[in-house]
Amino acid sequence: MIYLDNAATTQISSNALKTYDLYAREQFFNPSGIYDVAVKVKNDIESAKKTILDALKTSSGDIVFTSSATEANNLAIFGSLRSNFKKIVLSMADHPSIYNVGLELENRGYKVEFCPLQENGQIDYDALEKILDEDTSLISIIHVCNETGAINDLKRINELRKKKCPKAIFHADGVQAFSKIKINLDYFGVDLYTISGHKMFAPKGIACLYVREGLHLKPILFGGGQEHNLRSGTENVPAIMALKTAVLEIGDIKQNYEHVKKLKDIFVSNLKDIPCTINSNEENSPYILSLTFKGVNGETLVHMLEQNGIYVSTGSACSSRKKGNRILSAMNLRLEDVVGSIRVSFSKHNTIEEVETASKTLKNCYNELIEKLR
């Protein structure tokens, strides 16, 4: 098997799985308990938060653990929401767990504006500057687009915020950025930032939201008051501690980045003899590669590769059963180009041999499909 759908999910690492097992079977105590072994587990959770804050390069703030990035994104938006909010600014590149929240807020009577995209998949910064004004109360922009790998400049967005709407809250979805590109939340100036465990070799069912010190969110779940009353429910200790292990295993981000960039370049080079368009540029994250093939259906290519033991996707797993692709369309791709698109996403564990085999097989599948369609 050659797995190149790492933007959808990753395999839990051996060490993270061992940690999960330890806290599921031996250190299984409820962190709300008052006896020593439970208090130790509670302290271990606090240690995990410190590890994540260090990795995010921030000296203050808190981590709120959630069951998923979708929950964390919803907490960021709905937890920030106030009755006096006048305008909420999102982007056309946002994950469905932000974009669909925006649609719901419109249904509730809030004014929501979606920033358009450039053809490279990044947000249109000139358009964003025009959209932002003194009425803007909340901004949420994805850091790295899960469809194309386009990297949005959070520092630049924050400068626009300070210029046009300094009181607005700024959230970024960092699910496809964390562990893959350099992150410094103190430098970026964000108030809220989302990460997800299963995108970086931790288990499914664990994610978290960074909350800047001094920012007060409202809970969207009510119960026992865990996580400083922001996320009630007994903490998923095994997954939290496995996430900590995965964070400690990130390694050298720059070295991993260069390895993955080499993989992406090899993959693209092996497709140069067929009509294939890359829906990105060199500024995008190499971990995600969006490709359009002329005259074929991307879903058909995905299944042909599957028959050869190679796994890619047509796009976000959260939108795989929906027709079209909102983000590619927002980049001005024609419908036939959207239909002919696939997403290849790499990890630091993929090898040159895997990429050579996968790209050459993809080329053969395309040629075979074109021959059948003649």
pLDDT digits (tens, 9 = 90+) for 98-127: 999 999 999 999 999 999 999 999 999 999
pLDDT at 316: 56
Per 3-state DSSP, what percentage of the chain is helix, strand, and coil (rounded to 5)? 40, 15, 40
User: What top-level class would CATH report for the domain 14-248?
Assistant: alpha beta
The pLDDT of residue 323 is 60
More confident residue, 371 or 21: 21
Residue 374 pLDDT exceeds 80: no
Residue ranges with strand state E in 260-339:
276-278, 288-293, 310-311
Q: Where are the domains of the chain?
A: 2-9+252-373, 14-248
- Indicate whether 188 pLDDT > 80: yes
Higher local confidence (pLDDT), 220 or 173 = 173
For residue 38, pLDDT beyond 80 = yes
> Quick check: is 165 catalytic?
no
Q: What is the mean pLDDT of residues 2-14?
A: 98
C-alpha distances in Å from residue 54, one per residue of 47, 206, 221: 11, 18, 27
Residue-level pLDDT at 322: 54
* Average pLDDT for 63-82: 97
Contacts of 181 (CB under 8 A, 6+ apart): 144, 151, 253, 257, 285
Which band of pLDDT confidence, cut at 50, 70 and 90, is reported for residue 320?
A: very low
Query: Taking the complete model, does pTM exceed 0.85, yes or no?
Result: yes
Q: What is the mean pLDDT of the chain?
A: 95
Q: What is the mean pLDDT of residues 28-37?
A: 94
| β-bridge pairing 87-91 and 136-142 | parallel
Q: For the chain, what is the total number of helices (H) and then of strands (E)? A: 13, 12
Residue 230 pLDDT: 85
CATH 3.40.640.10 corresponds to the domain 2-9+252-373: no
pLDDT of residue 189 exceeding 80: yes
Mean pLDDT computed over 57-84? 95
Average pLDDT over every residue of 175-202: 98
Give the per-residue pLDDT at 353.
98
Residue with tokens 């490709």: 291
CA distance 139 to 69: 17
Give the model confidence (pLDDT) of 153-170 as tens digits.
Answer: 999 999 999 999 999 999
Q: Which residues contact 238 (CB under 8 A, 6 or more apart)?
A: 19, 20, 21, 22, 23, 24, 28, 203
Q: Which of 145, 165, 208, 318 is catalytic?
A: 318
Q: Report the percentage of the chain scoring pLDDT > 70.
A: 97
- 199-238 pLDDT per residue, tens: 999 999 999 999 999 999 998 888 888 988 788 888 999 9
d(C-alpha 7, C-alpha 345), whole Å: 6
